[in-house]
A and B are shown apart, each in its own frame.
Chain A
Amino acid sequence: MTSRIGVITFPGTLDDRDTQRAVRVAGAEAVPLWHRDKDLKQVDAVVLPGGFSYGDYLRAGAISRFSPVMESVIEQAKAGMPVLGICNGFQVLTESHLLPGAMLRNNHLHFICRDQKLRVENAETSWTVDYTSGQEISVPLKNIDGRYVADARTLDMLEAEGRVAFRYLDGNPNGSLRDIAGITNEAGNVVGLMPHPEHAVEPLIGTGRTDGLGFFTSILKKLVNA
């Protein structure tokens, strides 16, 4: 049976279609989910895509966190369902406390849009098993609230437990502490990152590389072997 991967659309989400496409390119079925529905339509995993949900009012991700769909996502993520948050999706995951820390305005205050080199630090999460630990990839980065912060104790814990999943290479684009581009929860089923793997899955578009496809083939592998 084909794996079913839900992609949530909030008002203000931008990258839901690209994310659905990435899911299909990897060989899974993309299931659109709407922010007002508590029903997750029996999907096997969920992706929270990028954009500006609820206009980023109050704080990026702060209002989305209280949407009906997130109630179900939070509950099922805690029960082990794989969840990936990309960009705004990562912000929603930190606001939901599914991932520690918070996102703030870039230290230089500019919107940034470029290809970004990353190192995969943890290739054992549900979303990274198709990479190797230490592998360098390049995917687009586009945001203004991309600065990852957490207190020193949390950062030390993330490092000690191998929960820094991705780190920026060749220069820190936004002032994120310890060059952190993405993290995972303790169980490895919830992963969030600021850069956009869904924009780098086909050689014809974007970076011309398919470095982001591994996120979506990883989850397929994980679900099929589960």
Chain B
Amino acid sequence: MARVVVDVMLKPEILDPQGQAVQRALPRLGFEGIADVRQGKRFELEVEGPVDEAALARIHEMAETFLANTVIEDFTVRVDS
């Protein structure tokens, strides 16, 4: 079965306090040199049948209407090989 990965990230202009909290915790834990952290979501879709253009178009539509809220988030769709 083919896997398609949808990554969803907050748009660059949207404040991400969770990412900031992670970034601020890093030096305390001994991880130096990380200037910024943004936290996102990753969806792994196990697709039945071939991942052709039509299937990818449907997944794109799914990401746009449901997996991501495009008011605040960007997304990418890629086939995991």
Interface of chain A, helix or strand or loop or mixed? loop
**Count of chain A residues with a beta carbon within 8 Å of a chain B beta carbon:** 20
At the interface, yes or no: B18 with Cβ under 8 Å from chain A? yes
Within 8 Å by CB of B17, from A62, A102, A105, A150, lies A105
User: Please, which residues of chain A bring their CB within 8 A of the CB of B21?
Assistant: 109
Docked CA distance A151–B69 (Å)? 13
Closest CB of chain A to B38's CB: distance in Å?
13
* Beta-carbon contact of B17 and A149 below 8 Å: no
Closest CB of chain B to A136's CB: distance in Å?
28
Q: Given A62-B66, A66-B66, do A101 and B17 touch, yes or no (CB 8 Å)?
A: no
Docked CA distance A107–B18 (Å)? 9
At the interface, yes or no: A32 with Cβ under 8 Å from chain B? no
User: Please, which residues of chain B bring their CB within 8 A of the CB of A94?
Assistant: 71
* Beta-carbon contact of B66 and A104 below 8 Å: no
Docked CA distance A94–B21 (Å)? 26
Docked CA distance A58–B72 (Å)? 13
At the interface, yes or no: B15 with Cβ under 8 Å from chain A? yes
* Beta-carbon contact of B71 and A62 below 8 Å: no
Closest to B72 in A: A102
Closest 5 pairs (CB-CB, A-B):
A102-B71, A102-B72, A107-B17, A109-B17, A102-B69
**A→B interface (CB under 8 Å):** 58-59, 62, 66, 94-95, 100-102, 104-109, 147, 149-151, 175
